[in-house]
Amino acid sequence: MIKGNIWARNLSFFLFIIIFLKIELISNFVLQTGATIGTDNGLIGSPEIKCNPETIELVFRTKREFRGKIFVKGHYSNPNCRVDYGKTTLDSRNSVGGIILSHGQCDMNRQRMIQPEGMQFSTILVISFHPLFITKLDRAFHIRCMYREIVHAVSSGIEVSAIATQTLEYEYPFPNCIYTIRKDEIDGPILKYARVGDQIVHRWECLSDVYGLLVHNCYVEDGQGEKQVIIDGNG
């Protein structure tokens, strides 16, 4: 009976040593990995936001190769809502990463704005430098792209949790819209004077790949106060 107790104590002692060694090895591995992956990295400048016609894109540069991940907050488990660079490592000589999201993807917020008038899309993106843990280098950005019907698109940032948020802006140029009166056909010469019976073509155009053009309430006047509607209020 005494030998059995001694054997049980020795077995418990050996198991404790084995478990302790395993924990020690795992701890050392985690510390070494954390020291080499991400903790000495960081963003270079501010990320760039692109408010495209159908998508929102965030592009960033890092000091060293980026082996972390960028994802939509609250949707990390969805592979369509994240980009994991732990499997696809960036070239350290050109450490550029980012993510592209379609409008409405990953529960992206869509809101019709009245003042200023337009459509706004927003989401929260998190850039995490370590493939497993949260570190002090992690950054969160509240991305807001607003597509104004007349002027331009803007974005801004707000405070997210304990991670500081930085404002990013992008502005579209004003569209250059032109109205001309042409002779005989759409690409005919521009008319300044015309005679009764001449065939004329009205041409409206906007030099923009983002904004469209709606012509409405167009009429001609005979100089005597009489008006003839050419295009009604619905275009």
Instruction: Please state, for a pLDDT cut of 90, what percent of the chain lies above it.
Output: 18
Q: What is the pLDDT of residue 88?
A: 61
Residue 175: partners with Cβ closer than 8 Å, 6 or more residues away: 206, 207, 208, 210, 211
**135-187 pLDDT, tens digit each:** 888 889 999 998 887 644 445 554 555 666 677 777 667 777 888 888 889 89
pLDDT band at 30 (very low <50, low <70, confident <90, very high): very low
Yes or no: domain 48-154 corresponds to CATH 3.30.950:
no
3-state secondary structure of 128: strand
105 has a pLDDT exceeding 90: yes
Task: Tell me the domain boundaries of the chain.
Answer: 1-36, 48-154, 176-231
Alpha carbon distance 13, 232 (integer Å): 92
**56-103 pLDDT, tens digit each:** 999 998 888 888 899 999 999 999 999 988 766 445 445 778 899 999
Provide DSSP, 10-68.
HHHHHHHHHHHHHHHHHHHHHHHHHHHTTTT--B-S--EEEE-SSEEEEEEEBSS---S
pLDDT band at 55 (very low <50, low <70, confident <90, very high): very high
Question: Nearest 5°: phi and psi at 220?
Answer: -115, 150
This prediction has a pTM of 0.48
Q: What is the pLDDT of residue 5?
A: 53
